Amino acid sequence: MNVRGKLVVVSGASSGIGASLARALGARGARVVLLARRKEKLEAVAADVEKAGGEAHIIPVDLSDMEAASAAGKAILELGTPDVVVNNAGAGEWRYVDETEPAEVVSMMALPYFASFWLTRAVIEPMMARGSGLVLMVNSPAWMMGWSGSTGYACARAAQHQFAESLREDMRGTGIVVSEVTLGEVSSDYFKTQAASHERLPSIANSLIGVITPEQAGDYIVHAIEKERERVMGPFMVGALYRLDRWFPYLVRPFIRATQHKR
């Protein structure tokens, strides 16, 4: 898909991956709709998008609120039927089950999964009626298997993954592509404010997979959009680890456990 002139919705667009993706889309001439809670941050990213040659619209919204997400969908449709929806908004902390309050699990599930469902649901029918478009979920490798110290976070990411898988089946024959981009650790503000969560990442994350920049993360997502790929994983070792786990789980799982955080 050539995104020039296309209406592309990006949630979680005020910083990190979302902001970098928005700028990359602007450089390609897209009409970018930016969604996030912080209006002033969105305005700054919108200015970058337009400076790069794109068109920007901002919708300040808390996508963890169902009514607000539905209202954002209506605001998007006033601009037109989206060609691409990137569900990037996400939150959550790495915690053991006994450290996690029930309300915190609800918040983790709301971002990313509920937000992705609500936003997609709000715009999918016009996309289906047109018979084209792409819906993309940005995800973490936490969905791939069980990880020590991340019970709520990993389950929320597994829900995001299954939403992509199930929505893809729903959309068979409609002309709509459903894509999922799974990214390893990204050097964004998330872990700057979640130092305790960063300490609980398996040591394999840095030693074997490595860290990518928000700009590199944006490039992976742009690649998935332009090539209309159903599944993209980056960097390379994320995909390699996933395939090895599917083929040789009896070898991979003990190795992962040995690198996990321990109390």
User: How confident is the model over 199-223, as a mean pLDDT?
Assistant: 84
Helix residue ranges, H only, 171-213: 190-193, 195-199, 204
Mode of pairing for the β-strands spanning 84-87 and 176-183: unpaired
| C-alpha dist (Å) from residue 249 to 138, 145, 245, 256 | 25, 10, 5, 10
End-to-end CA distance of the chain: 47
Mode of pairing for the β-strands spanning 133-139 and 55-60: unpaired
pLDDT above 70 as % of the chain: 94
Confidence class for position 197, pLDDT limits 50, 70, 90: low
Report long-range pairs for 194-203 (Cβ below 8 Å, ≥24 apart).
194/93, 194/94, 196/93, 196/94, 197/93, 197/94, 197/95, 197/153, 199/261, 200/94, 200/148, 200/149, 200/150, 200/261, 201/94, 201/261, 202/147, 202/148, 202/256, 202/259, 202/260, 202/261, 203/259
For the chain, where are the E strands, in sequence order? 7-11, 31-36, 55-60, 84-87, 133-139, 176-183, 231-234
Is 60 exceeded by the pLDDT of residue 195?
Answer: no
pLDDT above 90 as % of the chain: 78
Quote the pLDDT of residue 22: 98
CB neighbourhood size of 91 (10 A)? 16
Quote the pLDDT of residue 194: 60
**Segment (H or E) for 213:** none
Confidence class for position 257, pLDDT limits 50, 70, 90: confident
In total, the chain counts a number of residues equal to: 263
Q: How do residues 123-158 score in pLDDT, each as one tens digit?
A: 999 999 999 999 999 999 999 988 888 889 999 999
Burial class of residue 48, CB neighbours in 10 A (0-12, 13-18, 19+): middle
pTM to 2 decimal places: 0.93
Is 80 exceeded by the pLDDT of residue 38?
Answer: yes
Instruction: Report all structural domains of the chain as residue ranges with CATH numbers, in order of start.
Output: 7-259 (3.40.50.720)
- Tokens found for residue 186: 């990204």
Amino acid of residue 197:
S
Mean pLDDT of the chain: 93
Confidence class for position 261, pLDDT limits 50, 70, 90: confident
User: How confident is the model over 175-200, as a mean pLDDT?
Assistant: 80
Higher pLDDT, residue 89 or 191: 89
Is 90 exceeded by the pLDDT of residue 118?
Answer: yes
